[in-house]
Amino acid sequence: AGLGGIGLDTSKELVKRDLKNLVILDRIDNPAAIAELKAINPKVTVTFYPYDVTVPIAETTKLLKTIFAKLKTVDILINGAGILDDHQIERTIAVNYTGLVNTTTAILDFWDKRKGGPGGIICNIGSVTGFNAIYQVPVYSGTKAAVVNFTSSLAKLAPITGVTAYTVNPGITRTTLVHKFNSWLDVEPQVAEKLLEHPTQPSLACAQNFVKAIELNQNGAIWKLDLGTLEAIQWSK
């Protein structure tokens, strides 16, 4: 999701760099945000395609065919769709985990060096909850742990596939995502308020470190983006 919260701020930081193309796939079109991105740096071609990560793999593949035909090369995929609402169990798993796995699987069709592909880079957005759960939202925290594990596996498969991978894991960031959300079985009705009592970071600081992590391009890295800092996590194997 390139047009909401951290995604939009990250997109703004990305277009300031020496990019040729930025393709944004999101469920909701936001023409004002697209126009803003185009205005930041007219040298970058910004295009938007409507996409819901919960669609079947075949549909993702169809969309990717269109994108690859147009651009010829795609260097990096950023999987950033996410929801935080432990009342919506199936949807949380579908968006945060299944969707990310399916989109990754679909792009491998175009990138896998065993199929003559050029390889590529996958940047998956996890969360600090992936290695330090917010226990009141166990469904969300569980999906993020799955993302970190899945991505660490992709990184180890790079010699086979030619596709490298790493995770970017934001801490509590001041976005609409955290202002109000439901805990699992309402175990903590005040979960958002309690969370926001802790130190947080602004979305822009997170976005700037996000782009730093992309530029560092370290296969297998588990980046922690918290309180305005960027830190590599050593996760016990």
The residues that are catalytic are 140
User: Which residue in the block uniquely carries the two structure tokens 């009705």?
Assistant: 189
Residue bearing tokens 């985990």 = 97
The residue behind tokens 């949380």 is 92
Pairing of strands 173-174, 201-202: parallel
In a 13 Å sphere around the CA of 163, the CA atoms on its Cβ side amount to: 28
- Beta bridge partners of residue 78, listed in sequence order: 123
**Rounded distance between C-alpha atoms, residue 86 and residue 105, angstroms:** 26
Q: Six-digit token pair at 123? A: 């940047």
Alpha helices, H only, the chain: 5-15, 31-40, 57-71, 89-93, 99-111, 138-156, 158-161, 191-195, 203-216
